[in-house]
């Protein structure tokens, strides 16, 4: 994967993210390094074609005066109608929710600290709502490439949620998910 392409996606998202005004301001809006580290860990599970397509979505939206991240948060807060009715969105959310459930069972301390709850919250804090609203902002090509990437991961027996979290914990100084789980589990018991 091209580090230059990833950097361009992260910067385009960051520029939109800092302009988001939502009912629940995100703590990382004042922490660009944290935002980019978290998002990079996710994007590193993507293919280069996905990143290029998403960068195109971001650039096209910017040229039209749209802010995809503001739209995502507006959807999460139920302030605007759905942006897409693609049937792929529900399939993707189901696959990713299953991966999140696996992650929660295997790494409960990490899940509690680092992941969005899958419990029904009645608002945009729920993992499925958050992901679905984000997917609604993607162009059709990006959404199809996303779906294809998940299908390839499933066929290979991979869990991209665990892979993204593995990248994130390593970027934060842990050797592995098990190491981070052990450290965070001990802290919560103290």
Nearby residues of 48 by Cβ (< 8 Å), 6 or more positions away = 1, 2, 5
Predicted confidence at residue 155, as pLDDT, reads 98
Predicted confidence at residue 26, as pLDDT, reads 65
Tokens of 100: 């999140």
pLDDT in tens, 155-175: 999 999 999 999 998 998 999
Compute the mean pLDDT over every residue in the chain, rounded to the nearest whole number: 88
Cα separation, 98 vs 95, whole angstroms: 5
Cα separation, 184 vs 181, whole angstroms: 5
Predicted confidence at residue 184, as pLDDT, reads 79
Q: Is the pLDDT of residue 183 over 50?
A: yes
Q: Is the pLDDT of residue 122 over 60?
A: no
pLDDT in tens, 57-105: 999 999 999 999 999 989 988 899 999 999 999 999 999 999 999 999 9
Tell me what the mean pLDDT of segment 16-32 comes to.
Answer: 75
pTM surpassing 0.85?
yes
Nearby residues of 105 by Cβ (< 8 Å), 6 or more positions away = none
Highest mean pLDDT among 16-25, 47-56, 101-110: 47-56
Q: Is the pLDDT of residue 118 over 90?
A: no
Chain centroid to Cα 34, Å, comes to 13
HSE-CB at 71 with a 13 A cutoff on CA atoms is 18
Q: Is the pLDDT of residue 144 over 80?
A: yes
- Which of the pair, 183 or 6, is modelled with greater confidence? 6
Tell me what the mean pLDDT of segment 99-116 comes to.
Answer: 85
Q: How confident is the model at residue 138 (pLDDT cuts 50, 70, 90)?
A: very high
Q: Is the pLDDT of residue 124 over 60?
A: no
């Amino acid at each position: 994967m091209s580090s230059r392409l990833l950097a361009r996606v992260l910067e385009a998202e960051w520029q939109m993210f800092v302009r988001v005004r939502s009912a629940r301001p995100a703590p990382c809006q004042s922490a660009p390094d944290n935002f980019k580290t978290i998002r990079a860990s996710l994007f590193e599970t993507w293919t280069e074609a996905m990143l290029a397509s998403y960068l195109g979505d971001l650039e096209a939206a910017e040229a039209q005066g749209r802010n995809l991240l503001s739209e995502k948060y507006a959807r999460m807060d139920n302030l605007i109608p759905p942006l897409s009715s693609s049937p792929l969105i529900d399939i993707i959310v189901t696959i990713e929710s299953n991966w999140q459930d696996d992650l929660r069972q295997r790494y409960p301390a990490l899940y509690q600290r680092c992941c969005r709850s899958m419990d029904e919250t009645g608002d945009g804090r729920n993992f499925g709502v958050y992901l679905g609203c984000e997917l609604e902002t993607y162009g059709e090509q990006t959404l199809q490439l996303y779906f294809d990437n998940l299908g390839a991961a499933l066929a290979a027996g991979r869990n991209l949620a665990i892979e993204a979290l593995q990248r994130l914990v390593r970027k934060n100084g842990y050797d592995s998910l098990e190491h981070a789980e052990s450290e965070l589990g001990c802290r919560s018991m103290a």
